[in-house]
Amino acid sequence: MITITSFRMHKTKVIVGLGSCGIAAGANKTYQKIKAFREAENLDFELKKTSCVGMCYREPLVEIIDENGSMLYGEVTEERAVEIIEKHINQGNPVKEYVVKTDLFKTEDNTFTDSQVKIALRNCGYIDPECIEEYESRGGYQAIKKIVAEKLKGGDVIQTVLDSGLRGRGGGGFSTGLKWRFAANSQSDEKYIICNADEGDPGAFMDRSLLEGDPHSVLEGMIIAANAIGATAGVIYCRAEYPLAIKRLNIALEQARKKNYLGENVAGIEGFDFDIFIKEGAGAFVCGEETALIASVEGKRGMPRKRPPFPATSGLWKKPTNINNVETFANIPWIILNGAKAYAQYGTEKSKGTKVFALAGKIKRSGLVEMPMGISIRDIIYKIAGGIKDNKRFKAVQLGGPSGGCIPEYMSDTIIDYDSVNATGAIMGSGGMVVMDETTCMVDVARFFLDFTQKESCGKCTFCRIGTKRILEVLSRITEGLGREGDIELLEELAFQIKENSLCGLGQTAPNPVLTTIRYFKDEYQAHIRDKKCPALVCKKLIIYKVNPETCTGCTVCAKNCPVDAIDGVRKQLHYIVQDKCIQCGACFTKCKFEAILLS
């Protein structure tokens, strides 16, 4: 959201966050309620829209900016919206208990925002994403104008990107500048730029939010890349499940064309003809892999191919092609405008700049954050995300999406950069970070992610197609109480074969959740297999339900709700569960009002 410090205005602004997360939380209804209230009361303020500010746990968000400054209100329902407008605007009396961020005083949410360094997310929540003039007012398209004014050659731009240390934010972490140089050195009259906006892990929430909140930054990054390598056309590959992102991208593309940022002689650069088109994908996870993505753009089934040749020499339509993801392109205009050193001052020696993370799971504050590389996992979870919900014990964090790995609590001082994360067995991915507490079963977590990757396997490689299916079968058996001695070794052998023999990144990283949970939580596997117990009390088939004689009142509710009549007892007397008949459905546990059902 916009934060005003030195700038003052005469007309009050009310800005509603209308990203997908806000809309899902009811922000559209809040917006319409404020609009109707303004008209009914004939109030004089400007009502505007913006996108996600990252504070998703506080949606819907409404910001009011007046001559006194800015106040961001959280969890603004329709009823609360009327109260806020009435008191803040009509009476000049802000409703401080609803404020989640302001320059005027501290709030409990300050730690979520104050530690961030926003480069990729610099405009998200600050501008109306459907207004190119607002993007321009914050330095938008100044980077391409700088290239024109200073007569920078493609090699100069590529060297700046190299010097910045920017590595691809899609997961692989390959040097962006080096990737551009390979494509620039490929000789062809036709070259392409592709923006990969189809990553299917939790980090894809970041891609979607960037496209929804600041589409022009991605377009400008692509234009700069195209000019640097000599590309003639660009493609944004975006999954069709992101309708709002696609809508705002189409608006941004049309606006950019009208202002000559796209089309013939872009930005006045003689001979630089470049346009961008959207290709809607069907949401296949494998199309996050660049050669599978290219196949999909060409109208083929999304399946990877062997490399070399690499896309930089033979990509889309067998022409030199450069592929980066949404976050990578969003960084480019800032780097060109502010210089390589300004970007490289953040991060670590080998991982420069900032990284956007999508925080989810058992944390108090979920949403998008952008932090300098080098921050520790512990600091993100406790200082930024506010710690674990209900003050439970932090157990592990799953980093890198479905193909990522699980890092245990005792390794939470690990800093986040490409090399340190890879050393744990996890991957950076596109920034998905799922936090788990003591109630999480790590065997079940591995099964959950393998179920996803097995379904998303394109089937081209035998080791991935069959191997992930066999791993899933073993994990399912273990969680159902049918695990056998040797299963852990079997899982490790299958995982090794899949990693070594799969063609693309999906297969090569699919076993990561299994390998890391075995590596760090082997005792849980052993408990499931040898003791037929689930320490976290998650796997239903391994849970034993018993009646607590100290709290049972004999109300008969459990017996009435048992679908197999496994509970005996008469009214007002102690009940008991017949274990041979119990099917572990949990109905007695959920229905009991006296906490008289014990799990073990």
What's the whole-number average pLDDT of the chain? Answer: 93
Separation between Cα atoms, residue 454 and residue 465, nearest integer Å: 7
- Of 292, 309, 343, the one marking the end of a domain is 343
**pLDDT of 111 strictly over 90:** no
- Predicted confidence at residue 201, as pLDDT, reads 52
Tens-digit pLDDT profile for residues 432-489: 899 999 999 999 999 999 999 999 999 999 999 999 999 999 999 999 999 999 999 9
Tens-digit pLDDT profile for residues 49-102: 999 889 999 999 999 999 889 999 999 999 999 999 999 998 999 999 999 999
Output the domain CATH number for residue 424.
3.10.20.600
With 0.85 as the threshold, say if the pTM is over it.
yes
- Predicted confidence at residue 113, as pLDDT, reads 87
Q: Residue range 343-362: average pLDDT?
A: 95
Q: Is residue 125 part of a domain?
A: no
Separation between Cα atoms, residue 267 and residue 140, nearest integer Å: 13
Separation between Cα atoms, residue 535 and residue 408, nearest integer Å: 16
Least confidently predicted of 142-146, 167-171, 270-274, 535-539: 167-171
pLDDT-derived band at 215, boundaries 50, 70, 90 = very high
How much of the chain is helix, strand and coil, in % rounded to 5?
45, 15, 40
Q: Per this entry, what is the length of the chain?
A: 600
Q: Residue range 289-295: average pLDDT?
A: 93
Mind giving me the DSSP string for 103-171? SSS--TTHHHHHT---STTTTTTTS-TT-HHHHHHTTTTHHHHHHHHTT--HHHHHHHHHHHT-B-TTT
Strands 354-361 and 432-437: parallel
Output the domain CATH number for residue 466.
1.20.1440.230
SS (H, E, C) 501-540: HCCCHHHHHCCHHHHHHHHHCHHHHHHHHHCCCCCCCCCH
Query: Do 361 and 404 fall into the same domain?
Result: yes
CA torsion through residues 174, 160, 372, 115, sign: negative
Its domain, for residue 370, covers: 354-437
Asked if residues 514 and 495 have their Cβ atoms less than 8 Å apart, the reply is yes
Separation between Cα atoms, residue 484 and residue 409, nearest integer Å: 28
Query: Do 76 and 104 fall into the same domain?
Result: yes
Q: Residue range 394-422: average pLDDT?
A: 94
Asked if residues 249 and 340 have their Cβ atoms less than 8 Å apart, the reply is no
The single-letter code of the amino acid at 17 is G
- The strand pairing partners of 324, in sequence order, are 195
Query: Do 451 and 560 fall into the same domain?
Result: no
Output the domain CATH number for residue 283.
3.40.50.11540
Residue 264 to residues 179, 256, 272: CA-CA distances in angstroms? 26, 12, 7
Residue 439, SS3? Answer: coil
CA torsion through residues 328, 330, 333, 339, sign: negative
Output the domain CATH number for residue 109.
3.40.30.10
The single-letter code of the amino acid at 403 is S
Separation between Cα atoms, residue 192 and residue 154, nearest integer Å: 15
Query: Do 374 and 238 fall into the same domain?
Result: no
DSSP letter at 347 equals: B
The single-letter code of the amino acid at 502 is S
Total of domains in the chain: 5
